[in-house]
A and B are shown apart, each in its own frame.
Chain A
Amino acid sequence: MSQFLQATVYGLLQGGLLALIAVGFSLVWGVMNVINLAHGAFVLVGAYLTFELNQRFGLDPFAAIVPVGIALFAAGYLVQRGLINMVVKAPIFITLLLTFGLELVLVNGLVLLYSGDYRSVTTGYAGDGFTLLTGVRVPLGRLLAAAVALAITLVLVAVMRHTRTGLAILATGMDRGAARLMGIRARHVYALTFGIATAMAGTAGAAVSAVGTFSPADAGRFTLFSFVAAVLGGLGNMYGALIGGIVLGLVEAWGGQLLPGTLVNAVAFGVLVVVLAVRPQGIAGRAFYASRVEV
Chain B
Amino acid sequence: MMLEIDRLTAGYGRVRVLHEVSLDVGEGEIVALVGPNGAGKSTLLRAVTAMIPDRSGTLVLAGRSLIGASVEAVAAAGVAHVPEGRRLFPGLTVRDNLRLGGWLGRNKDLAPVLEMFPVLGDRLSQVAGSLSGGEQQMCAIARALMSRPKLLLIDELSLGLAPLLVDEILARLGGIAAAGTGILLVEQDAGAALEVAHRGYVLELGEVVLAGTTAELAADPRMRSAYLGGEWEADAASEPGGT
Contacts and interface: CB of A to CB of B under 8 A. Distances in A.
* A and B physically associate: yes
Interface of A: 164, 167-168, 170-171, 174-175, 177-186, 288-291, 293, 295
Interface stretch (B14-22, B82-90, B187-195, B224-232): B82-90
Interface string B59-87: 00000000000111001100011010001
Contacts of A164: 103, 106
B100 interface: yes
B147 interface: yes
Contacts of A177: 51, 71, 83, 87
A183 B90 contact: no
| CB-CB nearest 4 A-B residue pairs | A183-B75, A183-B104, A178-B87, A180-B71
A183 B73 CA distance: 7
B104 A182 contact: yes
B71 A181 contact: yes
7 contacts: A168-B100, A170-B91, A178-B89, A180-B71, A181-B81, A183-B76, A290-B91
Contact of B96 (A167, A184, A186, A293): A167
A182 B147 contact: yes
A179 B87 CA distance: 9
A186 B90 CA distance: 18
B133 interface: no
Given A170-B92, A174-B92, A182 B87 contact: no
Contacts of B81: 181
B94 to A, nearest CB: 13
A290 B129 contact: yes
B101 A295 contact: no
Contact of B72 (A170, A184, A289): A184
Nearest to B79: A181
Nearest to A288: B91
Given A168-B103, A182-B147, A291 B90 contact: yes
Given A167-B96, A168-B103, A295-B51, A185 B89 contact: no
Contacts of A185: 72
A170 B90 CA distance: 11
A167 B87 contact: no
B49 interface: yes
Given A290-B90, A295-B51, A178 B83 contact: yes
Contact of A180 (B72, B96, B99, B129): B72
Contacts of A179: 89, 100
A183 B101 CA distance: 9
B75 to A, nearest CB: 4
Contact of A174 (B70, B89, B101): B89
Interface in B126-141: 129
